[in-house]
Amino acid sequence: MAALEWIYDKNYVAWYYLKSDGTYAYDQEVDGYYLESDGKMRESEEDRLRRKLDGAVQSQHQQEEKKALEKAIQWLESEDSISINEEYAKRLNQYGSTDQGKNQENISALNTITKSLLKQNQKEIGAISNTLLAKYNLRSMPEDMKQSLNLYAASLINSVRKQMNYSPVKVTETMVTIAEQIAKEYINDGRFIADGKGHDAHAINKVVEQYGILTSTDNSKSNGSQYYENATSTDFQNQDYFTIRAELREAILLFLFNGIEYDHAQSIAGVNFGKEYKDAYFGVGLGASGHFIQIEDSYLEKEGTLPFSKTEISQKVRTDYEQKVIQRLKEHLATLK
């Protein structure tokens, strides 16, 4: 039994003093503090104002968290896309498919257009608490989460390709695996995109060769030359679904609208240096860098030691996984006043 001691009751937000027999003291002074008729310690004006201020600050923070979370849910529930215009499509086509398109006039025009398009495609996606969703690395990420993120990235790319009048990329289980294996090989080689050494052609060719896919020559490998990768220096390790999804969007925007070079843009948008293809298969490896791998059907040379599946992953995988994420965020939203 508590006796001759102070106790704090969080339900009543007040201090009380228990006498030697365990009963509450009231209408008296103890240790210089006066106890009211209900036993509560009388609050000083300073303490009252501090408590009121703390409550107001806490309420403001909670309201800010609520608004950011509502925007995050809205973004996840919306059909996200990237917009371009006719002038960008025309000039990017010229850049990617003709020598004349690489002249300074065309590049200067693209620089101006991309500055406007980058701003136009920025959107408020909200934010979530750092502890709301589980974080994963390349090796621990669940398969449905991985596939969902691949399908999301492909949806953004395809929104651009549709406006460019090019065929969409297709996400297959094989492509998700290839992209993941390339990301792992980069790590095994001690490589990442920001190391200034260019593409790890050794890692890329080592993986695709198993599937009978065309590889670059030994001489060109040493120069980092390869056919399939667009890469970003973003580190996707130990991140949650929402954060990775946001960083994928930002990476694709920078491929398209960085205002510096347009080799990545024409590849992502489907110009493909003016080469015709029937189908393009896509996957993104989420490692210490982001590895956007695209393989056209003409590069599937022969049967490899591993089979290459051309069957697309159902969009239901993405829908189902994102619904789980949205439900988790809505449950937390319901706790915010």
pLDDT tens-digit map of 279-308:
999 999 999 999 999 999 999 978 899 999
**Tally of CB atoms within 10 A around 87:** 14
Question: Is a pLDDT exceeding 80 seen at residue 181?
Answer: yes
DSSP 152-184: HHHHHHHHHHHHHT-PPEEEBHHHHHHHHHHHH
- What pTM value is reported for the model? 0.83
Least confident of 107-116, 177-186, 196-205, 236-245: 196-205
Question: Could you say which DSSP state residue 6 is in?
Answer: E
Report domain extents, the chain: 5-42, 81-321
State whether residue 54 is helix, strand or coil.
helix
Q: Which CATH superfamily, name and number, covers 5-42?
A: Cholin Binding (2.10.270.10)
Which two structure tokens, joined as six digits, stand for 269? 């948008």
- For residue 159, give the nearest of 270, 283, 250, 289 by alpha carbon: 270
Report the share of the chain in percent with pLDDT over 90. 76
Question: Is a pLDDT exceeding 70 seen at residue 56?
Answer: no
Cα dihedral sign, 129-133-139-143: negative
pLDDT digits (tens, 9 = 90+) for 7-52: 988 888 888 999 999 899 999 988 888 888 998 888 776 677 676 6
- For residue 24, give the nearest of 37, 43, 10, 13 by alpha carbon: 37
Q: What is the pLDDT of residue 52?
A: 66
Residue 38, classified by CB atoms within 10 Å of its CB into exposed (0-12), middle (13-18) or buried (19+), is exposed
Q: What is the pLDDT of residue 220?
A: 65
Please state the rounded mean pLDDT for residues 220-246.
Answer: 90
Ramachandran region, residue 137 (left: φ > 0; alpha: ψ -120 to 50; beta: rest): beta
pLDDT digits (tens, 9 = 90+) for 136-155: 999 999 999 999 999 999 99
Which backbone phi and psi does 41 adopt, to 5 degrees? -70, 130
Q: What gap in Å lies between CA 334 and CA 337, rounded to an integer? A: 8
Please state the rounded mean pLDDT for residues 86-91.
Answer: 98
Question: What contacts 278, CB < 8 A, 6 or more positions away?
Answer: 167, 297, 298
Q: What gap in Å lies between CA 333 and CA 293, rounded to an integer? A: 37
Residue 145, classified by CB atoms within 10 Å of its CB into exposed (0-12), middle (13-18) or buried (19+), is buried
State whether residue 151 is helix, strand or coil.
helix
Report the DSSP pairing between strands 5-9 and 33-35: unpaired
Ramachandran region, residue 172 (left: φ > 0; alpha: ψ -120 to 50; beta: rest): beta
Please state the rounded mean pLDDT for residues 170-186.
Answer: 98
